[in-house]
Amino acid sequence: MTTIKGPAIFLAQFIGDQAPFNSLESICEWAAGLGYKGVQLPTNDLRFIDLQKAAESQAYANEIKGIVNAAGLEITELSTHLQGQLVAVNPAYDTLFDAFAPEQVKNNPTARTEWAINQLKYAAKASQNLGLTASVTFSGALIWHMVYPWPQRPAGLVDAAFDELAKRWLPILDVYEECGIDLCYEIHPGEDLHDGVSFERFLSKVNNHKRACLLYDPSHFVLQAMDYLEYIDIYHERIKMFHVKDAEFNPTGRQGVYGGYSDWIDRAGRFRSLGDGQVDFKAVFSKLTQYDYKGWAVLEWECALKHPEDGAREGAPFIKDHIIRVTERAFDDFAASGSDDSFNKSLLGI
């Protein structure tokens, strides 16, 4: 077994225009001051990392790593959530998701998809140059708008959607294999990969590609009324990343999983700061440790109520207190009788 690394923090929700959140150096100093040991870097803001440059220049990658290390931190992984979303976009979402794209490819879905695919490939090489082992992304979605089967879906539609999704992702996954990086899909509503069944559909289409892995975030399963602990039992061999994020689901006579178009504050399912929701993190950390999860425990702060800086301040000790330092011996070794092959055979009468 392995002791989980951490605490770490995903920086995406904290980046802003005011110090200390407006530069890599200052935000790392802030995170270190709160007790974090690692940072997960988003890759869509040039103030923090130029993804293409990190892929093409080892010297630049070393510079980025040096800034983080100077604050006493490690880079845990790179995030390409927004770029991954753009690998597959149904036309119903073109206008909204154009906000994730640079100006030169907006209003051009073909060019936007090509840009996103190249970004994912850059992230593989950049991760290699930074000495990382995993990276996180979204799958994008071609058929999410048809997640509920009404009107009735035409025969073959789901297979066609997943065939196309696999066609776009297979060449990307092959680059991650070349670079020795696990590409971890965050299983998330709004993506075609939003639960275990949809992930398995995808796996079958990409020939069970060894680099098609998972980021585990129990909050998304609480909001779908899924068994987030059994999920670890089922998929632990593919889980290579971990977002520590809390949530609550309180269905009423008026609303449930779908939320009735309510804003986050009024939804039956809401993300919460660590310890304020319903996730049994003692059980989560125990299961991940049991299955020898070797990665980081990374806070992803999202909450409809609490201030983000309070969530970040509380998150580091919360994660630290849940990390299990694994034992190097069995608890009952004191009562061991010792054995060898002949002694074992004598006990069995053989």
Please list the residues that pair with 184 across neighbouring strands.
136, 213
Model confidence over 45-85: pLDDT tens digits? 999 999 999 999 999 999 999 999 999 999 999 999 999 99
For tokens 């907006």, the residue is: 106
| CA–CA distances in Å: residue 12 to residues 41, 182, 324, 341 | 7, 20, 27, 57
Q: pLDDT at position 342, please?
A: 87
Q: Name all domains of the chain by residue range, CATH numbers in brackets.
A: 5-348 (3.20.20.150)
Q: pLDDT at position 198, please?
A: 98
Q: For 181-227, where are the alpha helices, taking DSSP H only?
A: 196-205, 218-222
Q: pLDDT at position 323, please?
A: 98
Beta-sheet pairing, 269-272 with 246-249:
antiparallel
**Residues sharing a CB contact under 8 Å with residue 12, sequence separation 6 or more, in sequence order:** 42, 79, 81, 300
pTM: 0.95
Q: pLDDT at position 335, please?
A: 63
**Residues sharing a CB contact under 8 Å with residue 299, sequence separation 6 or more, in sequence order:** 7, 8, 9, 10, 36, 243, 244, 245, 274, 311, 312, 315, 316, 319
Q: pLDDT at position 151, please?
A: 96
Q: pLDDT at position 329, please?
A: 77
Q: pLDDT at position 334, please?
A: 65
- Mean pLDDT, consecutive 10-residue stretches, the chain (350 aa), reads 97 97 98 98 97 98 98 98 98 96 97 98 98 98 97 97 98 98 98 98 98 98 98 98 98 98 98 98 98 98 97 98 90 70 87
* Pair of tokens at residue 137: 């992304």
For tokens 């070794």, the residue is: 333
**Residues sharing a CB contact under 8 Å with residue 179, sequence separation 6 or more, in sequence order:** 124, 125, 127, 128
What amino acid occupies position 92? A
242 in Cβ contact with 274 (< 8 Å):
no
Q: pLDDT at position 332, please?
A: 67
Report angle CA 267, 270, 272 to the nearest 5 degrees. Answer: 150
38 in Cβ contact with 8 (< 8 Å):
yes
Render 263-290 in DSSP notation, one character per residue. Answer: -GGG-SEEEE-TTSSS--HHHHHHHHHH
Q: pLDDT at position 235, please?
A: 98
Question: Distance between CA atoms of 216 and 300, rounded to whole angstroms?
Answer: 11
Query: Which helix (H) or strand (E) is 313 found in, with range?
Result: helix 308-322
What backbone phi and psi angles, to 5 degrees, belong to 42? -70, 155
